[in-house]
Amino acid sequence: MKPLNVEICDVTLRDGEQTPGVSFTCEEKQDIAQRLSDIGIDIIEAGFPSVSEYEKRSVRSIVEMDLPSDICCLSRCVQSDIDAAIDCGVDLVSLFFATSDLHLRIKYKKTREEMLDLALGMLDYALDHGIKVRFSAEDASRTDTAFLKEMYAKGADRGASYSSYADTVGCMTPLSMYETVRVLSTWLKNPLCVHCHNDMGFASANTFTAAQAGAFQLHTTVNGIGERCGNASLEEVLVALRMQGGVDRYDLSALQTLSRTVETYSGIKIAKTKPVVGEHAFCHESGIHIAALIQDRNTYEYYPPEMVGAEQKFILGKHTGRKGLEYILTTLGYNPVPGEVDVILERIKSISETKQSITHDVLLSVISETRQETELKKTSGSDKARTG
């Protein structure tokens, strides 16, 4: 498989922080940035400096960490925003501006031509001050294609390092994303970036599909946090790139700890069924599944949990089978006598059907109870033999 030609720009510290109720401290941002860099993330979008002085200091502090990753920040088409980015010393500024007719009419009260002139002027200003620019079309997915091409072409001609396509309201599907990116990436004069939101649940799929179609820079957030329904999930995109895109330069073994760190700092709980990092991502209860997994893990795990810093777990419940239970009992150092496994299994099924979880302590209690009964039967049998 020829590896996809991509880089990752993680925007957890900016778009991820725009999740309602989320606010990272400077120290938390530094910790997340360090962890992202350790994984090998190419570009870290550290924040939006014009938001506040504290935000500006936080962005500057990440720049001063001198990480291997390039540091980026967000800027509107406002000179003071660009000045703030310059003051922070970032490597790249994401200069964003609305391009759809809806946004131009409602937000800016400007024509297409007026918006483009303003954006190009700010692009020139940033370049004149020695900072690279990502020319970013907000609501690109609802923008007239002809205008989008004109805007990107003029930006590239003026020196923009990237053209960026934002599916701001998450209205794209994988098929429409593939076709759009295929056309744009073959036509553009500079690399294309994609920034996907998850309003219909397609953000990660759209991002990976865009990479297959020729997009170069992929935007992600840890745990998929972000405004409304969030953004493309870093961990999902990285696993897809490894398993289906031939990209193996990122250290996926740190994803679990990174995910838990962001969960703690953001206060946004990870769903148990969340791919890659959810509590149930590598948990198995079905007896049929466990019996097969004991022989070959590939039967019900597409990628090994160790690859992403996780571990395989067998869960006991109403769907547990005899082989799975025997395996778990063996790992606990318990060697049941004939008949005990069936008794334990029946009790586990009965307990789970009352919606009680079979925790480690519950299992030990069932084993203890069963063993006591077994010993009692042995004693009773011995007594009868003596009296008989």
Among 201, 173, 207, CA closest to 8:
207
Among 97, 164, 89, 158, CA closest to 134:
164
pTM: 0.91
pLDDT tens digits, 195-224: 999 999 999 999 999 999 999 999 999 999
Residue 231: per-residue pLDDT = 98
Residue 313: per-residue pLDDT = 87
Residue 354: per-residue pLDDT = 83
Which segments of the chain have a pLDDT < 70? 380-388
| Residue at 113: amino acid letter | E
DSSP conformation class of 98: E
Fold exhibited by the domain 7-266: TIM Barrel (3.20.20)
Backbone angles phi, psi at 288, to 5 degrees: -65, -45
Tokens of 338: 């004939």
Q: How far apart are CA 18 and CA 144, in angstroms?
A: 27
Q: What is the DSSP string of 187-228?
A: H-SS-EEEEEB-TTS-HHHHHHHHHHHT--EEEEBGGG--ST
Q: How far apart are CA 47 and CA 86, in angstroms?
A: 13
The neighbour count for residue 20, using CB atoms within 10 Å, is 7
Q: How is the chain split into domains, by residue range?
A: 7-266, 284-385
End-to-end CA distance of the chain: 76
Which sign, positive or negative, has the C-alpha torsion 78, 114, 109, 74?
negative
Residue 348: per-residue pLDDT = 82
pLDDT tens digits, 48-97: 999 999 999 999 999 999 999 999 999 999 999 999 999 999 999 999 99
